[in-house]
Amino acid sequence: MSYQPPFDITAKIINQISAIAEQVGRLNSHGLSASPQLRKRNRIRTIQGTLAIEGNTLSLEQVTAILEGKRVLGQPREISEVKGAIRTYEALAEWKTASIEDFLTAHQYLMGDILTDAGKFRRAGVGIHKESKVVHVAPPAKRVPLLMSDLLDWLDQSEDHALIKSCVFHYELEFIHPCMDGNGRMGRLWQTLILGQWNPIFFLLPIESVIKDEQERYYQTLEKADQAANSTVFIEFMLEIIGNALAQINQGIDQATDQATDQAADQVKRLLAVMDDSYVTTQILMERLGLSHRPTFRKNYLIPALDAGLLEMKYPDKPRSPKQQYRKQ
């Protein structure tokens, strides 16, 4: 490994990693991967967020429609950008983080509909402008293949934590600016890939959407790292973003769980209200509640009441007996 990106491991970074690990543990316990609707919603937020940072004006609703194969009114380039991002994020988990070939393939997926040189390193010099001011001049084009090879080699061999490596790679990629366009999108995409291969939960998080909400600070922090010739400040910023993304998802799941619990509590209350101290059959209870679908009754009423210890079975040794009856405890 011939290249070592300049950065420092600060006490703040160590504390941030610890807090992120705790948040990841909470998400794993929630079983986020088992929620297709949440995964789809977060993927849409990711795509809309990463494109909005680059000036794409399509809304979450329009991105959702494109994902579902519906026609959308909008600028052809912006629609193509969304389609390219959908294609890219769907294939993301298949690629290897340290492969130049996979990196360029991802760029082709992402930008192929709008760039003639998609999937290739740039062959000309580029500068990043903010209004009329040049804020960053990228390395000469002839150096890009070697710089990217060194960076990917470091990524492959470094023993630093994946959270740190993903942030460092993100910054270094923006500094090198290896392609004529799409570098910001690729930096955010590849950070997600690095994190997702450390823990698949990160493939489901809308980190790009949180960056969009902090877009001004995002660019300011990149500039600060350039001025310091050291990515430490960017690592700290991105770890904050990651922590915020995790916290948002955990908070959303907690709220949904509370709502489901409240709903279950209401259904159990309804069941108890039609019962007394006498044993009654399932059929009688369903008639009293005005229900006809036995599986729904068992799932939403009977089992929660039994789990809460609010009902007593007449034949506890034979819980699924066709003669089973229940009464309030």
Q: Is 184 annotated as a binding residue?
A: yes
Q: Is 183 annotated as a binding residue?
A: yes
Q: Is 230 annotated as a binding residue?
A: no
Q: Is 219 annotated as a binding residue?
A: yes
Dihedral angle of Cα 152, 154, 160, 164, to the nearest 10 degrees: -50
Per DSSP bridges, beta strands 133-137 and 325-328 are unpaired
Q: Is 181 annotated as a binding residue?
A: yes
Lookup: tokens for 12: 């703040």
Tell me, letter by letter, the H, E, C secondary structure of 7-41: CCCCHHHHHHHHHHHHHHHHHHHHCHHHCHHHHHH
The answer to whether residue 177 is catalytic is yes
- Is residue 324 within 8 A of residue 282, CB to CB? The reply is yes
Closest to 213 (Cα-Cα) out of 47, 48, 41, 49: 49
Q: Is 153 annotated as a binding residue?
A: no
Write the single-letter amino acid at 305. A
- Quick one: DSSP state of residue 314? S
Distance CA 325, CA 323 (A): 7
Lookup: tokens for 296: 């729904």
Q: Is 127 annotated as a binding residue?
A: no
Q: Is 186 annotated as a binding residue?
A: yes
Q: Is 3 annotated as a binding residue?
A: no
How far, CA to CA in Å, does 248 sit from each of 43, 86, 89, 235, 297? 15, 23, 21, 20, 33
Helices (H) and strands (E) in the chain, counts: 14, 5
For 256, list phi and psi in degrees, rounded to 5: -65, -40
Query: What does the angle CA 244 – CA 200 – CA 107 come to, to the nearest 5 degrees?
Result: 90
- Is residue 195 within 8 A of residue 163, CB to CB? The reply is yes
From the list 30, 107, 170, 177, the catalytic residue is: 177
Q: Is 185 annotated as a binding residue?
A: yes
Lookup: tokens for 169: 């790679």
Which positions make up the binding site for ATP?
Answer: 181-188, 218-219
Output the known binding site.
Answer: 181-188, 218-219
The residues annotated with a catalytic role in the active site are 177
